[in-house]
Homo-oligomer: A and B are copies of this chain.
């Protein structure tokens, strides 16, 4: 595991999202054991207290379950996982569309830009999401 940090977001939130993505995308399956506090801390070069906070938040969201003395496990409730997937996707979608509208793009522009970016993606492999799209005009 390795995460690109450095943003302006708190580390514990970034790690939270990283783990949630792994669960939602199936890299971590329901019931799977997740790394221990100390193990992940050493792995990511992050203080154990920060990892502990990350995990407490994940537990508060019912994404993982704790068995004291044993470790932490991905929830077995697949409905919960699906709900989180929808929530995360909805959040991404909203931020994108709302953001583009604020920049002055029309709805049809937005669809075109996404279509083109995805087409680029298919041609070039997964590179960088087409940064300066040619259709990026309002």
A positions within 8 Å CB-CB of B: 8-10, 13, 21, 24-26, 85-90, 92-105, 107-108, 110-111, 113-115, 117-118, 121-122, 126, 128-133, 136
Q: A132 vs B115: C-alpha distance in the bound complex, in angstroms?
A: 21
Q: In the bound complex, do residue B100 and residue A132 qualify as a contact, i.e. CB atoms below 8 Å apart?
A: no
Given contacts A94-B131, A107-B122, contact A85 B136 (CB under 8 A): yes
Q: In the bound complex, do residue A95 and residue B94 qualify as a contact, i.e. CB atoms below 8 Å apart?
A: no
- Closest CB-CB distance, A18 to chain B, in whole Å? 9
- Closest CB-CB distance, A1 to chain B, in whole Å? 14
- Closest CB-CB distance, A32 to chain B, in whole Å? 16
Contact of A95 among B10, B24, B96 (CB under 8 A): B96
Q: In the bound complex, do residue A94 and residue B128 qualify as a contact, i.e. CB atoms below 8 Å apart?
A: yes
Could you jot down 9 A-B contacts, CB within 8 Å?
A: A24-B104, A85-B136, A86-B131, A90-B129, A90-B131, A90-B132, A93-B131, A94-B128, A107-B118
Contact of A118 among B102, B110, B136 (CB under 8 A): B110
